[in-house]
């Protein structure tokens, strides 16, 4: 009889042989860089407005009274909001009956304020807090500055999402945000399903910086979480912190190119010049004004 260890070894070898077999042609074809259709781009627009509304004060989003940004999603039903816009980024949670999903949005920050987080002392990678992220593989590390920001609102978000689940009877949650807000929302996307079973998680983020290491990116790719991170033209924020520092994006990049097309870039950190890594090889080839958008006509960064 084979010892468990030998069985395990054989299993590993078999798995790696299986993995080495190239995917069928049909699958490879789908792996090319393709433009989103006009209807796919249009379907993302409500989330762009939800990300933009993340910049609005907590009292305004709770009343869903923030002018055109709120009116773009007129049926939204707020559940909770918080933050003060300075020491804690604003956030809100509610339900969209048209999209039939709970929405969680976090405020971002402007390029001048996020740059220190991405280039200076705060670049340390750390293991996510074991209480917030129980049972994660010990190889996973995330940006300590982003982890601290996410920890400030984590239990409030969890409470509000739980209330929304009871009230509206759905387990679909969509997390969104721009810039720092996207980074917090991505951490939420990993955090919430560790506490709420059978949650159906979608992440749609804008101008997302890199949040964690290779194990983090691989973990997200392996989860049943739909990840879409949209970046605009020559915005350099999504290229930071650099891969040479050990940071990696999960799959799911959508790059808005100068022509206005939205290109789906397969894999993690696709190096093609049609995707952000190839388009913005250094911060000096980037353009700070692209960070706030427009993302399909929606500007981020103010309310």
Ligand X SMILES: *[C@@H]1O[C@H](CO)[C@@H](O)[C@H](O)[C@H]1NC(C)=O
**Phi and psi torsions of 278, nearest 5°:** -80, -30
Q: Please say whether the beta carbons of 211 and 183 come within 8 A.
A: yes
By the rule CB under 6 A, 272 interacts with ligand X: yes
**Nearest residue (CB) to ligand X, 246 versus 267:** 267
By the rule CB under 6 A, 243 interacts with ligand X: no
Q: Please say whether the beta carbons of 180 and 110 come within 8 A.
A: no
- Interacting stretch for ligand X, rule CB under 6 A, among 77-85, 115-123, 239-247, 264-272? 264-272
Site string for ligand X, 57-86 (x = CB under 6 A): x-xx--x-x---------------------
- Measured between alpha carbons, how far is 207 from 123 in angstroms, rounded to an integer? 18
**Nearest residue (CB) to ligand X, 98 versus 287:** 287
By the rule CB under 6 A, 273 interacts with ligand X: no
- Measured between alpha carbons, how far is 60 from 76 in angstroms, rounded to an integer? 13
- Interacting stretch for ligand X, rule CB under 6 A, among 7-15, 54-62, 76-84, 139-147? 54-62
Q: Please say whether the beta carbons of 127 and 141 come within 8 A.
A: yes
Query: Total binding residues for ligand X by CB under 6 A?
Result: 15
Four-point Cα dihedral 111, 112, 114, 117, nearest 10: 140
Cis upstream peptide for 294 (omega within 30°): yes
Site string for ligand X, 278-297 (x = CB under 6 A): ---------x-xx-------
> Which residue shows structure tokens 């773009």?
72
Min dist CB 85 to ligand X, Å, is: 10
Q: What angle do CA 243, 245, 246 make, to 5 degrees?
A: 65
Site string for ligand X, 25-44 (x = CB under 6 A): ------xxx-----------
User: Parallel, antiparallel, or unpaired: how do β-strands 253-256 and 262-265 relate?
Assistant: antiparallel
- Residue at shortest CB range from ligand X: 267
**Nearest residue (CB) to ligand X, 133 versus 219:** 219
Min dist CB 279 to ligand X, Å, is: 12
By the rule CB under 6 A, 231 interacts with ligand X: no
Of the candidates 265, 233, 234, which has an alpha carbon nearest to the alpha carbon of residue 250?
Answer: 265
Beta-bridge partners for 94: 78, 103
**Nearest residue (CB) to ligand X, 33 versus 35:** 33
Q: Which residues bind ligand X (CB under 6 A)?
A: 31-33, 57, 59-60, 63, 65, 266-267, 270, 272, 287, 289-290
């Amino acid at each position: 009889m084979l010892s468990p260890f030998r069985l395990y070894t054989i299993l590993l070898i078999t798995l790696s042989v299986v993995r080495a077999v190239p995917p069928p042609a049909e699958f490879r074809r789908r792996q090319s860089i393709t433009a989103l259709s006009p209807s796919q781009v249009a379907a993302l627009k409500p989330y762009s407005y939800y990300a933009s509304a993340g910049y609005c004060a907590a009292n305004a989003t709770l009343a869903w009274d923030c002018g055109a940004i709120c009116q773009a999603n007129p049926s939204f039903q707020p559940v909770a909001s918080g933050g003060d816009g300075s020491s804690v980024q604003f956030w809100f949670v509610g339900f969209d009956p048209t999209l039939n999903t709970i929405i969680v949005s976090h405020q971002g920050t402007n390029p001048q304020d996020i740059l220190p987080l991405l280039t200076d002392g705060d670049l340390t990678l750390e293991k996510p807090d074991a209480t917030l992220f129980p049972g994660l593989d010990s190889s996973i590390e995330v940006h300590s500055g982003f982890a601290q920001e996410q920890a400030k609102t984590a239990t409030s978000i969890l409470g509000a999402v739980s209330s929304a689940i009871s009230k509206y009877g759905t387990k679909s949650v969509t997390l969104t945000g721009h810039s720092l807000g996207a980074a917090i929302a991505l951490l939420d996307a990993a955090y919430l399903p560790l506490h709420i079973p059978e949650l159906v998680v979608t992440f749609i983020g804008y101008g997302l910086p890199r949040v964690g290491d290779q194990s983090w990116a691989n973990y997200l790719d392996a989860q049943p979480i739909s990840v879409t991170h949209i970046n605009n033209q020559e915005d350099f924020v999504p290229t930071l912190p650099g891969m040479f520092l050990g940071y990696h994006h999960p799959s799911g990049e959508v790059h808005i190119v100068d022509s206005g097309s939205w290109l789906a870039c397969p894999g993690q950190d696709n190096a093609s010049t049609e995707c952000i890594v190839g388009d913005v090889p250094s911060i000096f080839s980037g353009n700070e004004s692209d960070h706030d958008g427009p993302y399909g006509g929606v500007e981020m960064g103010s309310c």
